[in-house]
Copies of this chain bind each other. A is one copy, B any other.
Amino acid sequence: MERESPVRLFQNYLKSQGFNVTKVRCQITETLFSAPEHMTVADLWARLRNERNISMSTIYRTLDLLVEGGLIRKIDLGDAFAHYEPVLGQTRHEHLICTRCSKIVEFALPDIEERFFETAEHYGFLHQRHELKIFGLCPDCQKSSISQEVP
């Protein structure tokens, strides 16, 4: 059995909420799901502007809809930009980020995640979500740090 494509799911969401299904919205969704993860608005804009005239406002607005529809998640990767990652069929994961080249590795620690829920409960909080980021130097950047000092 085939899984529904993200674009199809988004179309269903839009209809269910009384929003219009438009070409731009579908193109943004397709681009977001067909390319490197953790894209920023600028990334999407750079990829889409070849195909059509598109404004960043529209990208921001469409991404908001995708977030509300539960298809993507807005994440903070420690830089100045909002990043977006697919939620569909993804297991919950955290991010390991290279502070030199921005390379990102996804990892999961399911047993530890349980502790996060317990911690919230322990302080009487109702857990909503959590975010774990580990920053460091990736293997490549460690090598180049030796031969060629970072400015």
| Chain A interface residues toward B at CB < 8 A | 76, 78, 96, 98-99, 105, 107, 109, 112, 115-116, 119-120, 123-139, 142
Q: Specify the main secondary structure of chain A where it touches its partner.
A: strand
Task: Identify which of A76, A123, A127 gathers the most chain B CB atoms within 10 Å of its CB.
Answer: A123
Q: A136–B112 contact, CB under 8 A?
A: no
Total identical chains: 2
Q: B129–A131 contact, CB under 8 A?
A: no
Given contacts A123-B138, A125-B139, A132-B132, list 11 more A-B pairs with CB under 8 A: A76-B76, A78-B131, A107-B119, A112-B112, A125-B134, A125-B138, A126-B142, A128-B135, A130-B132, A130-B135, A131-B133
Q: A109–B119 contact, CB under 8 A?
A: yes
Q: How far is the CB of A150 from chain B (nearest CB, A)?
A: 13
Q: B130–A137 contact, CB under 8 A?
A: no
| Alpha-carbon distance between A107 and B119 when the two chains are bound, in angstroms | 8
| Alpha-carbon distance between A127 and B105 when the two chains are bound, in angstroms | 13
